């Protein structure tokens, strides 16, 4: 088992994890993942790709945004997302990033608790947009932030 940078040859399996992890949401396509290879894109490899994390880094302002975290449904609750997050945070510190943000839907309480355990704090809630139905998954979400370095 290892956490490593994603390679182009991983994209087929990453797309499968994406499809299974976000079945009712807007999914990323192959070109979006191809573009993400240029930034911080980690995979959890245990013989095949079972999870991934993508972060967009803005070194000029020393900030990063975690855009996507996904773990194959068949291997969830084994600490894979935690290990991906912790590895990403270490790599971001190496890049002298000062803070990291992540958006998480309010209904995803498991994800919120995971991020809180790692040290993220909710900085604001964004209410559901009026044009979405109450049960729409693209509704209300939290913006969570982790400060890595002050100043």
d(CA 135, CA 116): 25
3-class SS at 4?
A: strand
Between 24 and 105, the more confident residue is 105
Backbone angles phi, psi at 19, to 5 degrees: -60, -40
Ramachandran area for residue 23 (φ above 0: left; ψ -120 to 50: alpha; else beta): alpha
pLDDT > 70 fraction of the chain, expressed in percent and rounded: 93
Confidence band, pLDDT 50/70/90 cuts, at residue 135 = very low
Single pTM value for the model: 0.88
What is the predicted pLDDT for the residue at 126? 85
Q: 86 lies in which domain range?
A: 2-147
CATH number of the domain residue 61 falls in: 3.40.630.30
What is the predicted pLDDT for the residue at 130? 52
Matching residue, tokens 């979405």: 132
Count of domains observed in the chain: 1
For 29-70, write each residue's pLDDT tens digit.
Answer: 999 999 999 999 999 999 999 999 999 999 889 999 999 999
């Amino acid at each position: 088992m290892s956490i490593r940078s994603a390679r182009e040859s991983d994209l087929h399996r990453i797309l499968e994890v994406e499809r299974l992890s976000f079945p009712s949401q807007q999914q990323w396509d192959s070109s979006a993942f191809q573009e993400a290879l240029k930034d911080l894109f980690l995979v959890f490899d245990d013989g095949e790709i079972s999870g991934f994390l993508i972060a967009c880094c803005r070194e000029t302002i020393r900030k990063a945004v975690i855009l996507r975290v996904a773990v194959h449904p068949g291997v969830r609750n084994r600490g894979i997302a935690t290990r991906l997050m912790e590895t990403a945070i270490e790599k971001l510190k190496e890049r002298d990033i000062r803070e990291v943000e992540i958006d998480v839907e309010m209904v995803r309480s498991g994800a919120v608790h995971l991020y809180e355990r790692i040290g993220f704090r909710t900085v604001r809630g964004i209410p559901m947009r009026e044009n979405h139905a109450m049960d729409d998954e693209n509704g209300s979400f939290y913006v969570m932030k982790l400060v890595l370095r002050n100043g």
